[in-house]
Structure 1
Amino acid sequence: MPTAIAVTSTDLVLPPTDPGTPQAAVLPPPETRSLDASLADMQQLLARYGHVVVVCPTAAPAAVEHRLHAVRALLESDRIALVRTDLPPLGAAVLVRQLRQLAGCDFSPGVLASAARLLAHYIYAGAVLGSVSRLDRVPVSLGSHLKGWLPGAHFAVLAGPTPQIVRLGGGEGHLSGPEFATELLLARGQLQTDWPTTTLVPRWRIPGPVHEVPLPASSPGWWGTGKLVEFAAYLPDPSVLYQLVASVRRETCHWCGMELIGDRCGFCSAPLTVPAPPPDPGARALGTGPRAHALGPGARAARPALP
């Protein structure tokens, strides 16, 4: 039984790449759905799939996160994973589709949930902007902010995996691209530019056609302007994604018992514990063991009471 992938917005649901890609369950926003109805929706998903991985962008309204935590707490279920992502809307949608592709494989729910952090490092998400004056989710220098007020100024911005910003036509370098084969996804806003296809594609050596989808409704708010063209370069082959996740060492969460990869559980968010090194007998003999350090420099241990 595949793990259910749920999302908090229709913006996060891209067309499947093949008929075998599972659909994502869209959880209605709190303002359109009562708490009782949200509980019933989640109970149905759990009954059908066993485990649910919910992808919720960090830019989502606080009410969305509060509703998810309330649903999980009231159901008292440890089979619901809340996965947060800092990726911009189009990049987050790509991440969701990759999780959907992997949900049909033999990965356990814990591995699937914790794989989101790994996959996000292989998504190059950015945009061409007509202004960066209101961009607050990517570090922008004062000089770029000032140039953002110049008429006709365009900027290429990379939000992840490494933030970067360059002014187009200003001789300020270019965006650092992936060192592996990718495909490019485009979503056009109000900005009229072909820079992603005429410049970015050959520079990043992206083969094949460029795919276009409608601009996510949340993109103008995320980027601070509606004059944009959003893009995301990603690993398109499900077999490569499978090998990438399968190659990572699996651990068992010390708190909830789920499988995980990386340094944090995708279900309970508990960090992976690293076994403490064995004590040094010589250090204990010299009085420099853990107890001596806990007492602080120059402190004395209490004398044991006489019988």
Structure 2
Amino acid sequence: MPTAIAVTSADLALSPQDERTLPAVVLRDVDQRPLDQALAEMQTLVEQHGHVIVVCSRAAPLAVRRRLQTVRALLESDRIALFSPDLPPLGLAVLARQLRQLASCDLSPGVLASAGRLLVHYIHSGALLNSVARLDRVPVGLKSHAKSWMPGSQFAVLAHPEPQLVRIGPEAMLTGPEFGTWMLVAKGQLQSDWVTATLAPAWNVLGLRETALPADSPGWWGTGRLIEFCTYLPDLSVLYQLVTSVRRGSCHWCGIDVIGDRCVFCSATPPAHDGLRDAQDRPRENRTAVG
């Protein structure tokens, strides 16, 4: 069985992007059910799939995140990865779906888990808001705070990859991706066509789809009057090429294949390179001769 991709709520399990996209495992009410039920569910997933990657929003209740950490610790398993990138809820749902796409390929569990940290760099995630008065995840100046109290004000905010904030006006625009993407839009209680009629054409998106607003989005953005958006790479072949083009190695602690400098399963970072350590230990005159 392929590696399981789990999410903590059903709204993070987006509809499949293609016929190869694997279904997400939804860990429903993980903080409200008895601990032994949560343990049994996770143990079954590990036995069936070998490895489990749990994608959890940083906006999720603290009780959810603590319960996941408790379950992993009690099972004493390094085959469970808890992955919580700093993305708004819609962007996180898109990333989870990309991992579900890649889970159908011949990628080892460690490489698949590491792929999330790579693909996050290709996601542009933001929202159109009626107010930034309660927005605390993106830097907001005093002038913008003051203008947010003016009736009819709207703000375009990009949270990732680089924070941006502009007040909507004739010349307002956000800097978008420099490569071809699709856009996913989730409408809250705000009425506006700025995202679909102005932003999407300016970003030259190749396609646009709509979905329901994630339950955690109003809390993340500080208001329920919003339209959340996210651009992403939809094609499995492109995602696979990106991941397989990166040099991979083995975790020095658990031995699993990884890409990058940190194992997502055991959280170990690589020790200092032996060659670098040897060079640092050489006498100065020898280091000069080698250099």
Q: What is the TM-score normalised by the length of structure 2?
A: 0.93
Aligned residue for 2:111, secondary structure, equals helix
Paired position in structure 2 for 1:98: 98
Find the residue that maps to 1:67 and give its secondary structure: helix
C-alpha RMSD of the superposition: 1.7
Alpha-carbon shift at residue 117 of structure 1 (Å)? 1.1
Hey, what does 1:180 align to over in structure 2? Answer: 179
Cα displacement (A) at 1:284:
7.8
CA distance in 1, matches of 2:232, 2:14: 13
Unaligned runs of 5+ in 2: 287-291
Specify the SS of the correspondent of 1:45.
Answer: helix
Taking a change above 3 Å as real, the CA distance of residues 281 and 21 of structure 1, as seen in their structure-2 partners, is closer
Matched with 1:195 is 194
Alpha-carbon distance between aligned partners in 2 of 1:257 and 1:108, rounded to the nearest angstrom: 12
Partner Cα distance (1:56, 1:11) in 2: 12
Deviation at residue 170 of structure 1 after TM alignment: 6.6
Match of 1:57 in 2: 57
Counterpart residue type for residue 200 of structure 2: V
Structure 1 residues 30 and 3: alpha-carbon distance in aligned structure 2, compared to 1, 3 A threshold? closer
Shift of 1:198: 1.1
Counterpart code for 1:223? W
Q: Secondary structure at the match of 2:202?
A: helix
The answer to whether structure 1 residue 206 and structure 2 residue 205 are counterparts is yes
Deviation (angstroms), 1:65: 1.4
Say if 2:31 and 2:67, in contact at 8 Å, map to a contact too: no
Which residue of the partner structure matches residue 220 of structure 2?
222
1:163 and 2:163 correspond: yes
Residue 32 of structure 1 aligns to a residue in which SS?
Answer: coil
Residues 232-253 of structure 1: CA deviation (Å, up to 9, x unaligned): 0000101000000111110111
Secondary structure at the counterpart of residue 57 of structure 1: coil
Equivalence map 1:117-132=2 (5 Å) = 117-132=117-132
Secondary structure, counterpart of 2:157 in structure 1: strand
Give CA-to-partner distance per residue, 1:224-272, whole Å, 9 cap, x none: 0111100000001010000001111101111221111112111112223
Q: CA deviation at 1:114?
A: 1.2
Partners of 2:269 and 2:180 lie apart in 1 by 32
Residues 1:67 and 1:284: Cα distance change in structure 2 (over 3 Å):
farther
Deviates more, 1:9-18 or 1:232-241: 9-18
Distance in 1 separating the partners of 2:31 and 2:121: 33
CA contact (8 A) 1:91 1:123 kept: yes
Q: Which residue of 1 aligns with 2:236?
A: 238
Which position in structure 1 is the counterpart of 2:284? 283
Letter in 2 for 1:24: A
Contact 1:184 1:211 in 2 (8 A): yes
- For 1:257 and 1:29, how far apart are their aligned partners in 2? 33
Superposition deviation, residue 29 in structure 1: 2.3
Structure 1 170/78 Cα, relative in aligned 2: closer, same or farther at 3 Å?
same
Q: Count how many residue pairs are aligned between Structure 1 and Structure 2.
A: 284
The CA distance in 1 between the partners of 2:242 and 2:147, in whole Å, is 40
Q: CA deviation at 1:283?
A: 2.3
Alpha-carbon separation, structure 2, partners of 1:144 and 1:31:
37
How far apart, CA to CA, are the structure 2 residues paired with 1:87 and 1:31?
22
| 1:256 alignment counterpart | 254
Write the letter of the residue equivalent to 2:174. Answer: L
Alignment of 1:24-173 (within 5 A): 24-169=24-169, 171=171, 173=172
**Structure 1 consecutive aligned stretches of length 4 or more whose deviation exceeds 6 Å:** none
Letter of the structure 1 residue corresponding to residue 119 of structure 2: L
3-state SS in 2 of match to 1:156: strand
Structure 1 residues 186-216: Cα deviation after superposition (integer angstroms, max 9, x where no partner): 11111110011111111111123x2001111
What percent identity do the matched residue pairs reach?
A: 63
Cα distance per residue 1:156-184 (max 9 Å; x no partner): 0001011111111074x521110111001
What TM-score results when the alignment is normalised by the length of structure 1? 0.89
Who is 2:267 aligned against?
Answer: 269
Alpha-carbon distance in structure 2 between the residues aligned to 1:274 and 1:101: 34
Whole-angstrom distance in 2 between the partners of 1:5 and 1:257: 21
- Contact 1:11-1:218 within 8 A present in 2 as well: no
Contact 1:11 1:89 in 2 (8 A): no
Counterpart Cα distance in 2 of 1:84 and 1:132:
24
Gapped runs of 5+ residues in structure 1? 286-307
Tell me which structure has the larger Cα radius of gyration. 1
**Residue pair 1:135, 1:223 contacting (<8 A) in 2 also:** yes
2:156 and 2:168 in contact (8 A); partners too: yes
